[in-house]
Amino acid sequence: MQRYPTKQIKIRDVAIGGDAPIPVQSMTFSKTKDIKGTLAQIQRLYFAGCDIVRCAVLDKEDAKALREIVAKSPLPIVADIHFNHIYAIMVSEYVDAIRINPGNIGSKERIKAVVDACKQRKIPIRIGVNSGSLEKQFEERYGRSVEAMVASAMYNINLLEDFDFTDIKISLKSSDVERTMQAYRTLRPKVPYPFHLGVTEAGTSFHATIKSAIALGGLLLEGIGDTMRVSITGELEEEIKVAKAILKDSGRQREGLNIISCPTCGRLQSDLMKAIKIVEEKTRHIKEPLNVSVMGCVVNAIGEAKGADVAIAFGKESGLIMRRGEVVARLKESELVDRFLAEIDDEIKSRE
């Protein structure tokens, strides 16, 4: 499905919305005032393939620390601020974007002061609606529902638009998959701004991966979503790995290998698990989009190989190597993986 056309904004040099690739975001969990620790986490995220990092600002020390963090960070930094407009104004001098809920910043004068500061530095604001921290008036009226989330988003968007500020992106996060999806779907036709997708408090790796794959993957397939974060209670690198896989498998990012492999069954007469492990490890660095298939026997291997750039069909202590369905070698099992990897290299070189 076509992506919804949205306004494009920029966080440092990373474009969000329009026809820009969908950037992956994460958040440091160190105390932001711990500059060394925060920069170490940003470095980890950078090497994992993250595009944008958010840091929480709880107090003045956090706000101050961001100046040095931003200067040394290889990735754009978004300051995450609740309630305190003074910190938002302070960090707007050096961060690349701000995440606030204008509704919990206080009076119109305070919101205007934050908006003016962001306008002056030409940095965007993310309106981050979260079903766990909705403004009182919406929760009292609608409960923690889709209606409440959308009403909160519209209220906050209108506050910014009233000050002629449209450098906006929006998130509508809930820990409930269906509510998250419905909120994004409901708001999508109402505003032109890019959406930051996420399921909040999604849990540990296993559950967060499933929830995010359903919600974020589903929305991406519907053409909704311009940037995203997979929230996992766990390692930072895991968030990026899952987010990238969702982007790839929803067809929104064509990068690296798409590996088709069979689940194995009683017909298997070779060590396919070992082969897949080696293939995954040795191809992790590849950015070129390639379809490859690794199949346990010829039953489905020939059909899959037709749609694959490079394929293996294991047999009994031997197997076939294929390029777009054509057999290019018949080898002993011990030689198959090396030849398969060599054919992948050759395919990439031939494209160059």
- Binding-site ranges for ligand SF4 (CB under 6 A): 262-265, 267-268, 295-297, 299-301
Residue closer to ligand SF4 by CB (options 6, 270) is 270
* Minimum separation from the CB atom of position 338 to ligand SF4 (A): 21
Least distance to ligand SF4 from the beta carbon of 307, Å?
15
Q: What are phi and psi of 78, to 5 degrees?
A: -105, 125
- CB-nearer residue toward ligand SF4: 71 or 265: 265
Token pair in block for residue 282? 């040795």
Give CA 62 to chain center in angstroms: 25
Nearer to ligand SF4, 189 or 263 (CB): 263
- Residue 298 Cβ vs ligand SF4, minimum distance, rounded to whole Å: 7
Which C-beta is closer to ligand SF4: that of 30 or that of 264? 264
Measured from each CB, the residue nearest to ligand SF4 is: 296
| Strand, helix or coil for residue 350 | helix
Nearer to ligand SF4, 160 or 312 (CB): 312
Q: How far is the CB of 312 from ligand SF4 (least distance, A)?
A: 11
- Least separation in angstroms between residue 314's CB and ligand SF4 is 8
Q: Which is nearer to ligand SF4, 20 or 298 (CB)?
A: 298
Least distance from ligand SF4 to the Cβ atom of residue 267, Å: 4
Instruction: Tell me how far apart the alpha carbons of residues 6 and 189 are, in angstroms, rounded to a whole number.
Output: 10
What is the rounded CA–CA span in Å between residue 153 and residue 40? 34
Instruction: Please give the Cα distance from 81 to 58 (Å, whole number).
Output: 7
C-beta closer to ligand SF4: residue 198 or 296 = 296
Q: What is the rounded distance in angstroms from the CA atom of residue 243 to the CA atom of residue 152?
A: 27
For tokens 């968030």, what's the residue? 239
> In angstroms, rounded to a whole number, what is the distance separating the alpha carbons of residues 332 and 270?
11
Structure tokens at 242: 């899952």
Distance in angstroms (rounded) separating the CA atoms of residues 110 and 83: 10
Q: Which residue, among 349, 350, 321, 351, has the nearest Cα to 335 in the 3D structure?
A: 321
CB of 149 to ligand SF4, least distance (A): 43
Q: Which two tokens stand for residue 112?
A: 């205007």
